[in-house]
């Protein structure tokens, strides 16, 4: 049975009448037209659908929308400020840390969650944080360099 469900997406209040057991990924992509979270495996393995919920990285394909009432969702669309990219986005661009880009949104949000908890992670901590994010293009090495650059940029005062 449908319910009225309200939550914040990228600081915008959203209210929907929908079945509470629908995956958040479908609600974001199909109802709200927020398309940065990608459908990869649909089973919680690849990380392409990752978003932040109250600052924690979450797989939106495995999250029922009824469980996020009143919570704060951040997607890639919420990171830039106008034309100014977030430092993590800048670093990914600088290091060309993607090829097809399918994994990139999930990677960047996982990195944001990591850097908000630990501003200067070691390389092994970065690898551990991204271990469950699959990149079929093999951009892993450039992703690691981008994360280290992003950490330095954010330490230098960029948000």
Using CB under 6 A, list all residues that contact ligand FES.
39-42, 44-49, 59, 61, 98-104, 135-137, 139
Residue number with CB closer to ligand FES (118 or 136): 136
Q: Are 32 and 77 in contact (CB under 8 A)?
A: no
Residue number with CB closer to ligand FES (139 or 154): 139
Collapsing DSSP to helix, strand or coil, 73 comes out as strand
Residue 30 beta carbon to ligand FES: minimum distance, rounded to whole angstroms? 14
The DSSP H or E segment spanning 16 is strand 12-18
Residue 121 beta carbon to ligand FES: minimum distance, rounded to whole angstroms? 20
Q: Are 110 and 50 in contact (CB under 8 A)?
A: yes
Residue 97 beta carbon to ligand FES: minimum distance, rounded to whole angstroms? 8
- Euclidean distance between CA atoms 93 and 91, whole angstroms: 5
């Amino acid at each position: 049975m449908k319910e009225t469900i309200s939550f914040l997406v990228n600081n915008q209040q959203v209210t929907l009448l929908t079945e509470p057991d629908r995956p958040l990924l479908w609600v974001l992509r199909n109802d709200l037209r927020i398309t940065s979270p990608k459908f990869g495996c649909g089973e919680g393995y690849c990380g392409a659908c990752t978003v932040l919920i109250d600052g924690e990285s979450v797989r939106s394909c495995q999250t029922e929308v009824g469980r996020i009432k009143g919570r704060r969702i951040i997607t890639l669309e919420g990171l830039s400020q106008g034309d100014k990219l977030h430092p993590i986005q800048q670093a990914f661009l600088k290091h060309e840390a993607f090829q097809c880009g399918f994994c990139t949104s999930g990677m960047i949000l996982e990195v944001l969650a990591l850097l908000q908890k630990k501003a200067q992670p070691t390389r092994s901590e970065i690898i551990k944080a991204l271990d469950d994010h699959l990149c079929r293009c093999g951009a892993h090495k450039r992703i690691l360099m981008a994360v280290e650059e992003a950490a330095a940029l954010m330490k230098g005062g960029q948000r």
